[in-house]
């Protein structure tokens, strides 16, 4: 057999390469059907929110763009005309409104930290291992929040009135002569009512957040020799950051809506005027039939509430990330 014949045989023995075939492309998946159940569960919140929050704010904004003018003198016919943002210029240029806004900001800068600190301390005390009668104290701290705001303000008004208050009488006998209804103390008298009312409410939110923490974390810290004070400061307080942020937002909103307490104390104290807080000023304008300026003031207050609350969330969120 020659070499050429062997090579030819080897060449013919090599199988031919299979032809490449393209696999058929899979059919695209059918479009996913969105389950409407989550949207249905949101309706009980969304519908009242739209009807009783967004719609009133939108209507107030519409009213704030109008102005009532009288033609033909004092007893002439009233007409409603478009004023644009003129009402907002008047509101932001009103020194009484700016003074009331500054007063409320000062109130919030002092009262909110004091109230939340008290709520945090009470929650930590209730959550400690040495606490007794926890259920009793939870109810006792929450009772002031269950009292209607007007009744609570009236009760404290009697305690502030020097003609009726046993507290003022005892302080007078001790040589102190506090004037809880005077111009220098009335703001902090209101702050005392708000703190007494809402500390227990915020305490329950913080305490509920503590109950969601697994007990194994605390047990491991105790086995490592950590004292109760270190556990509270280094473990519990950092875990409570979301609850503290939540109560902080609620407190900011409540402070800007301050109305009931100054309105009640206004009947016994000349230091509380009709424009003492922005909310009280808007109420006074509406009561005097100046609806359009009251609407502009209300929308301004709503925007300030949103900006301050959102700014607080962003600020605390950045601190948490850092």
pLDDT in tens, 111-134: 999 999 999 999 999 888 777 778
Residue of higher predicted confidence among 61 and 15: 61
165 lies in some domain = yes
- Residue 8 resides in a domain: no
Is residue 9, in this structure, part of any structural domain at all? Answer: no
- Is 133 domain-assigned? yes
* Number of domains, the chain: 1
Residues 303 and 168: their CA atoms lie apart, in Å, by 40
Give the pLDDT confidence score for residue 11 in this predicted structure. Answer: 47
Is residue 7 domain-resident?
no
Tens-place pLDDT, residues 298-320: 999 999 999 999 999 999 887 66
Long-range CB contact pairs, 21-28, < 8 A, 24+: none
Q: Name the CA dihedral angle for 255, 261, 265, 269, rounded to a multiple of 10 degrees.
A: -10
CATH number at residue 312: 1.10.3720.10
Q: Is 86 exposed, middle or buried (0-12, 13-18, 19+ CB in 10 A)?
A: middle
Asked, for residue 312, whether it belongs to a domain, the answer is yes
pLDDT tens figures, 154-198: 999 999 999 889 999 999 889 888 899 999 999 999 999 999 999
Is the CB of residue 107 less than 8 Å from the CB of residue 187?
yes
| pLDDT digit string, tens, across residues 95-104 | 999 999 999 9
3 lies in a domain? no
CB 197 within 8 A of CB 147: yes
When pLDDT is cut at 50, 70 and 90, the band that residue 206 belongs to is very high
pTM equals 0.83
Q: Is residue 234 part of a domain?
A: yes
Question: Cα–Cα distance between 127 and 207 in angstroms, integer?
Answer: 7
* Chain centroid, CA 319 distance in Å: 18
Q: Which residues pair with 173 in a beta bridge?
A: none
Range of the domain at 96: 84-321
* pLDDT interval class at 24 (50, 70, 90): low
């Amino acid at each position: 057999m020659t070499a050429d014949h062997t090579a030819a045989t080897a060449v013919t023995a090599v199988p031919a390469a299979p032809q490449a075939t393209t696999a058929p492309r899979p059919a695209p998946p059918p479009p996913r059907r969105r389950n409407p159940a989550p949207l249905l569960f949101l309706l009980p919140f969304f519908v009242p929110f739209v009807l009783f929050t967004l719609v009133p704010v939108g209507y107030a904004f519409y009213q704030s763009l109008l102005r009532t003018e009288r033609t033909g003198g004092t007893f002439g016919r009233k007409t409603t005309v478009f004023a644009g943002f003129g009402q907002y210029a008047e509101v932001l240029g009103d020194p009484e409104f700016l003074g009331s806004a500054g007063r409320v900001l000062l109130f919030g800068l002092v009262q909110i930290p004091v109230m939340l600190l008290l709520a945090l301390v009470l929650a930590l005390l209730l959550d400690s291992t040495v606490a007794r009668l926890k259920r009793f104290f939870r109810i006792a701290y929450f009772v002031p929040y269950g009292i209607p705001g007007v009744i609570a303000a009236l009760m404290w008004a009697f305690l502030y009135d020097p003609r009726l208050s046993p507290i003022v009488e005892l302080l007078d006998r001790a040589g102190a002569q506090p004037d809880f209804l005077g111009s220098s103390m009335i703001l902090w008298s209101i702050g005392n009512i708000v703190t007494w009312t809402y500390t227990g409410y915020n305490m329950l939110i913080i305490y509920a957040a503590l109950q969601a923490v697994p007990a194994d974390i605390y047990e491991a810290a105790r086995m490592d020799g950590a004292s109760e004070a270190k556990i509270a400061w280094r473990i519990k307080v950092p875990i409570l950051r979301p609850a503290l942020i939540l109560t902080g937002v609620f407190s900011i909103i409540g402070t800007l809506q301050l109305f009931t307490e100054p309105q009640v104390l206004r009947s016994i104290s000349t230091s509380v005027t009709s424009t003492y807080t922005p909310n009280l000023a808007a109420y006074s304008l509406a009561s005097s039939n100046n609806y359009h300026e009251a609407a502009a003031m209300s929308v301004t207050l709503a925007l300030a509430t949103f900006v301050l609350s959102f700014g607080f969330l962003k600020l605390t969120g950045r601190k948490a990330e850092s």
